[in-house]
Amino acid sequence: MNARLPGPDTSTALPPPSSNPPPAPNPGAPTEPRLVRPRDGRRLGGVCAGIADKYGWSRTTVRALALLSILLPGPQVIAYAVAWFVVPDETDGRPVVAVDVDKATGDIARLVKR
């Protein structure tokens, strides 16, 4: 009697893990542009300009699409306002919310010291 014990199926087993780590990213290689609100060329908050710069689109086209979208029902103005506060500024890389929180925290600290 030739009895086999059940075991792992070796026909679909994965190869042993490689001892070579994956290559490190090249620090000099170009990276995908981040979504930031640029300091130059803003019209209102810089959200449309930031979206256009990130995806390589025309700023005028993105602004026109944003204005046309206002004619449609929906929360476009609210979405723009949220993006204005959440998308970081190009100069310091911080969103408006973080700047306001830091300013308020500093103001509170000055009041407490009095």
Please write down the HEC assignment for all residues of the chain: CCCCCCCCCHHHCCCCCCCCCCCCCCCCCCCCCCCCECCCCCCCCCHHHHHHHHHCCCHHHHHHHHHHHHCCCCCHHHHHHHHHHHCCECCCCCCHHHHHHHHHHHHHHHHHHC
Q: What is the pLDDT of residues 9-62, one digit of tens each?
A: 555 656 666 666 666 666 665 577 788 888 888 888 899 999 999 999 999 999
Q: Kindly tell me if the per-residue pLDDT of 108 is higher than 70.
A: no
Q: What is the pLDDT of residues 73-99, one digit of tens each?
A: 999 999 999 999 899 888 877 777 665
The model's confidence at residue 68, banded by pLDDT at 50, 70 and 90, is very high
Query: Whole-prediction pTM value?
Result: 0.57
Domain extent listing, the chain: 42-114
